[in-house]
């Protein structure tokens, strides 16, 4: 069972370096998001995003066991299918070939998902995905 990372666990995160920095960036830029985990470490990141049309979405980042060496998988509850969604229901918020473990952070990923949700709204309203595809 995943639980919210407690303040007592912050010392452990600090020793990990990367997770501590990730947590601080998330707290600063996306305060509704939280790292979740168990005894095996951080496994998920959950929170909400509100798009330009004031629709609020529950977002969950999974597959963090090998992060940052692999790109997190993102799920957004309540989305209709789009050309930028996998059969398993996770969204394609960026081209996996663009992923770089030294430059991409969870805050960056959440920002990309926010952009995705605004494009999603345009797609639902007029049937075309806006902007350049990666």
Rounded-to-integer distance, Cα 97 and Cα 43, Å: 22
Question: pLDDT (tens digit, 9 = 90+) per residue, 52-73?
Answer: 999 999 999 999 988 999 999 9
Q: Is residue 134 part of a domain?
A: no
Question: pLDDT (tens digit, 9 = 90+) per residue, 19-62?
Answer: 888 999 999 999 999 999 877 788 999 999 999 999 999 999 99
Q: Is residue 116 part of a domain?
A: yes
Give the confidence band of 132 by pLDDT, cuts at 50, 70, 90: confident
Q: Is residue 92 part of a domain?
A: yes
Structural domains counted in the chain: 1
Q: Is residue 132 part of a domain?
A: no
Q: Is residue 38 part of a domain?
A: yes
Q: What is the CATH number of the domain that holds 46?
A: 3.10.110.10
Question: pLDDT (tens digit, 9 = 90+) per residue, 95-113?
Answer: 999 999 888 999 999 999 9
Rounded-to-integer distance, Cα 65 and Cα 63, Å: 6
Q: Is residue 47 a contact partner of residue 72, using CB atoms and an 8 Å limit? A: no
Instruction: Please give the pLDDT value at position 19.
Output: 86
Residue 12 has pLDDT above 70, yes or no: no
Q: Domain of 75? A: 3-126
Q: Is residue 60 a contact partner of residue 46, using CB atoms and an 8 Å limit? A: yes
């Amino acid at each position: 069972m995943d639980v919210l990372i407690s303040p007592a666990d912050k010392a452990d995160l600090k020793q990990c370096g990367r997770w501590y920095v990730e947590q601080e960036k998330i707290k600063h830029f996306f305060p509704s998001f939280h790292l979740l985990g168990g005894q095996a470490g951080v496994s998920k990141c959950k929170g909400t995003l509100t798009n330009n049309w004031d629709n609020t979405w529950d977002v969950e980042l999974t597959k963090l066991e090998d992060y940052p060496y692999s790109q997190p998988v993102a799920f957004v509850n309540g989305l209709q299918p789009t050309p930028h969604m996998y059969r398993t229901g996770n969204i394609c918020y960026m081209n996996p070939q663009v992923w770089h473990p030294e430059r991409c952070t969870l805050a960056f990923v959440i920002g990309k998902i926010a952009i995705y949700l605004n494009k999603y709204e345009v797609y639902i309203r007029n049937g075309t995905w806006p902007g350049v595809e990666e």
